[in-house]
Amino acid sequence: MASTQAAAASEQAPTKNPTLLAWVAKMAAMTQPDRIVWCDGSEAEKQRLTEQAVKDGTLIPLNPQKRPGCYLHRSNPNDVARVEHLTFICTPNKTDAGPTNNWMEPEAAYTKLSQLFEGCMKGRTMYVVPYAMGPLGGASTKIGVELTDSDYVVLNMRIMTRMGKAALDMLGDSDDFNRGLHSTGDVNPDRRYICHFPQDNTIWSFGSGYGGNVLLGKKCLALRIGSYLGREEGWLAEHMLILGVTSPKGETTYIAAAFPSACGKTNFAMMIPPKEYQGWKIETVGDDIAWMRPGPDGRLYAINPEAGYFGVVPGTNYKTNPNAMETISKDTLFTNVALTPDGDVWWEGKDGEVPEELIDWQGKPWKKGSTEKAAHPNSRFTAPMSNNPVLSAKANDPQGVPISAIIFGGRRSNTVPLVLQAFNWTHGVFLGATMGSETTAAATGKVGVVRRDPMAMLPFCGYHMGDYLQHWLDMQKSIPQLPKIFQVNWFRQDKNGKFIWPGYGENMRVLEWIVNRVQGRVPTQETLLGWVPRQDQGLNLKGLDLSEEAVLEATSIKEDEWKSELKSQEVFFEQLGTKAPEALMLQRKLLIARLDG
């Protein structure tokens, strides 16, 4: 039966690519689907799959007047987030994966997962999903093919990537494509694995239906495999937003920024400047991932490899992110949010009054005042980037955009000032390598514990973190016009535990200073830790309801806090062992010497 399936796949395939056909046939022989469907990315296909998903209960249609083209999906309660402890980097030796990744030997991983995949698609359809990560035809774009038994995955991949015939056409007869195999299996956490094989450009995901584990173009290819390919090929795959900021004079500056989760990344990418900034414009190139490579003119160019947004919904509203609210107003898939009686969706932090009654994310009745969350804290939206009212015209440019500044930021109640410019590239890499965010009581039971998250890539780097940081240092040689590097922190608190800086749109004031520094327009004040805004020619505070003392507190650098900070970084560098880059260790020694001096 399996060989018949494989033959049928070859005969019906819209490609003659021998490597692709042979691989699909081999995977079909193992998984034994009843049917093989090659996805073409058409509107007719979308309609057919959506109708099927509604029929089988995978999707619930929302009120077409309130949410045109929108649907709700409820995942298994045991399958609501990325599973870092079940995510593996499979390299021939453990050292290549490094101490911050889970490791499995490739042959052992293939053997273990083959037993799970054997016959897992009996009674199901195998969808062949060809997709492009990056604008079609671009030199930085990568092609992937995901085999999946989930129509939910297909519909999400259609939003998140350039999926279908166009990707197959770009691939042609090449054997250079990522091979992704996914099955939801029986959604059993004891049989759930997300395995990456960097040397084979392969990803196998079993036992999950959650986007971060099964939309294989996203974190799996774009970051874990992408970071490995980037080192091999001389570019950077980063967990970064990309935005363009245009001044009233029409000058546009492009910036990439890395923030760990819960630090306002999407809000920053879609920021609306305050009223004092009439004539300024922020446009989104990407909200989550940047692929950056040296351009022929010596600058660093970035593309957003994605075509959509896969964002966290709770806390999103017209105050925090009006552009995101507009983006998810139509043609959006919602996952694990609550359902209102009139067929709309609801989540904690949404605008307006809390409804009296809802159907919660698990499909159960929910009443106002309940101690249970109506929407899961990690509930999601998947929306086309074309919905974004401030989408940059360069978002689909195959050449990408030239990056003038890179920002690193985390959630810190003290120590890190509002904004700081690195002295040079190596110092900037040090700031990125040692960035971190404080945990919250809800997450750990302890407040203020700093979790190091270098470049916001800790869960996503596909090889040894020490080698990754060295790759950042090495990139300096191939970028004659280096971007300037900055560190920001919107989350400094006063002695009463209140946030000092108002954040959201007011972050435009910090962004303007960064742009002015890039363009060489404003002087700075040098400190032991980096350059900061001067009091007389620094941040534009016009119209900001913040006292001079509060601004000084938000921007202050306290030597005793930094001495503690540098000491706490020891644990991270010790973890990297002999692969901790010598240049970064020297940076740390220089900082300690300056503080002790």
Task: Answer whether 358's CB lies under 8 Å from 95's CB.
Answer: no
Tokens of 457: 């890539």
Instruction: Indicate the SS3 state at residue 127.
Output: strand
Task: Answer whether 499's CB lies under 8 Å from 491's CB.
Answer: yes
Burial of 544 (0-12, 13-18, 19+ CB in 10 A): middle
DSSP for 200-214 reads GTEEEEES---HHHH
261 phi and psi angles, rounded to 5 deg? -60, 155
Nearest to 382 by CA among 334, 315, 323, 324: 334
How far is the C-alpha of 596 from the C-alpha of 560, rounded, in Å?
10
Tokens of 253: 């500056």
Tokens of 523: 């002087």
Task: Answer whether 332's CB lies under 8 Å from 381's CB.
Answer: yes
Q: Which of 39, 70, 120, 263 is catalytic?
A: 263
- Whether 220 is catalytic is no
Q: Quick one: angle between helices 425-433 and 465-474, nearest 10?
A: 160
Distances (CA, A) of 569 to 439, 464, 468, 589: 16, 18, 17, 12
Contacts of 28 (CB under 8 A, 6+ apart): 2, 5, 6, 9, 36, 126
Tokens of 485: 């590097």
How far is the C-alpha of 452 from the C-alpha of 98, rounded, in Å?
16
Q: Which amino acid is at 555?
A: T
DSSP 499: B
Task: Answer whether 360's CB lies under 8 Å from 338's CB.
Answer: yes
Task: Answer whether 193's CB lies under 8 Å from 84's CB.
Answer: no
Burial of 342 (0-12, 13-18, 19+ CB in 10 A): exposed
Q: Which residues of 21-53 are buried (b: 16+ CB within 10 A; e: fewer)?
A: bebbbebbbbbbbeebbbbebeeebbeebbeeb
DSSP for 435-472 reads -EEE--HHHHS-SS-EEE-GGG-TTT-SS-HHHHHHHH
How far is the C-alpha of 454 from the C-alpha of 465, rounded, in Å?
8
Provide the residue count of the chain.
597
- Structure-token match 């997709």, residue found: 131
Give the helix/strand (H/E) hosting 426.
helix 425-433
Tokens of 77: 């309660």
Active site residues: 263
